[in-house]
Structure 1
Amino acid sequence: MSAIRSATVSDLEPLSQLLDDYRRFYAQPSDPAAARAFLAQRLGAADSRLLVHAGQAGALSGFVQLYPVLSTVSLAPRWLLNDLYVHPEARGRGIGRALMQAAATLAREHGVPRLTLSTQTHNKAAQALYESLGWQRNDAFHGYTLTLD
């Protein structure tokens, strides 16, 4: 039986591999040690919410990571759904959808009224998933990035 659950320290090795794969999807160089250190820091600081999908044999096939932020305008918390990844061999089985639904459920359980996310403009598969789950594209704001040295 497969399940979605919160990540634990015992997931660090397989989750690190998934994170490294995810970063390579976004054209970043492979660095499993850095992925592991990053995840160990997240789990240790508990500054994000990490949900994983564990298959029948317990192997991890995907994850979603959320970061809490505050909205001054709405005077309420928000969570940034920063990462969603499903291993290519596990795609097409509804795992991404299940992870997204679990993220929304977790947010509701914590009284978080809004989730936000960004995705690459050419990632049509992700956009179709988000829109099928009721997410709405934000046309009211432009996103900007400033890279600091």
Structure 2
Amino acid sequence: MHTRAAVLNDLPTLTALLDGYRQFYGQQSDVAAARHFLEQRFGLGDSFILVSEDDKGDMTGFVQLYPGLSTVGLNSRWTLNDLFVAPQARGQGAGRELMNAASALAREHGVPRLVLMTQVENSAAQRLYESLGWQRNTAFYSYLLDVA
């Protein structure tokens, strides 16, 4: 298993993974919209996307990070917004490799903190995060507001 930065040629496979990720979170499959979303990310360069590959070179998962700022910390803070491993590749270390690669990329860019949110019932992801030293935030609540 190894990780690398996603490139435009990854778009077909990455699109399928993103569509699977969205379905995992209860969204209807929409391959065209997933592709368009990724094309925007590549075009705008507003996120970092890393992919994992198995020994045969098949893409097994991805992680996506969005740069942001912390007013309190007066520094950068990236949001690890997406982590997904294809169902057939789970349990083989891809998620751990992607998380480690995300941390390494942040360090390379001088980013002192990564943040993420996960569903309360996603215990598998929580075990992974905690095994890598991530700490659950108990100081702040998360709120959402739909404005559309």
TM-score normalised to structure 1 length: 0.98
Say how many residue pairs are matched. Answer: 148
- What 5-or-longer segments of structure 1 have no aligned partner? none
**Kindly, what percent of the aligned residue pairs are identical?**
61
Report the aligned-residue RMSD: 0.6
Three-state SS of the structure 1 residue aligned to 2:77 is: strand
Partner residue, 1:56: 55
Indicate whether 1:127 and 2:126 are aligned: yes
Partner residue, 1:116: 115
TM-score normalised to structure 2 length: 0.98
The equivalences for 1:6-25 within 5 A come to 6-25=5-24
Structure 2: distance between partners of 1:129 and 1:12: 27
- What 5-or-longer segments of structure 2 have no aligned partner? none
Partner residue, 1:107: 106
Q: Look up the equivalent residue of 2:81 and give its one-letter code.
A: N
Three-state SS of the structure 2 residue aligned to 1:66 is: strand
Structure 2: distance between partners of 1:57 and 1:19: 21
The one-character-per-residue Cα deviations of 1:76-113 (angstroms, maximum 9, x if unpaired) are: 00000000000010000111001000000000000000
Contact 2:84–2:95 (8 Å) recurs in 1: yes
Runs of 4 or more above 3 Å deviation: none
Q: Look up the equivalent residue of 2:77 and give its one-letter code.
A: R
The equivalences for 1:53-92 within 5 A come to 53-92=52-91
Contact 2:106–2:112 (8 Å) recurs in 1: yes
Structure 2: distance between partners of 1:16 and 1:44: 15
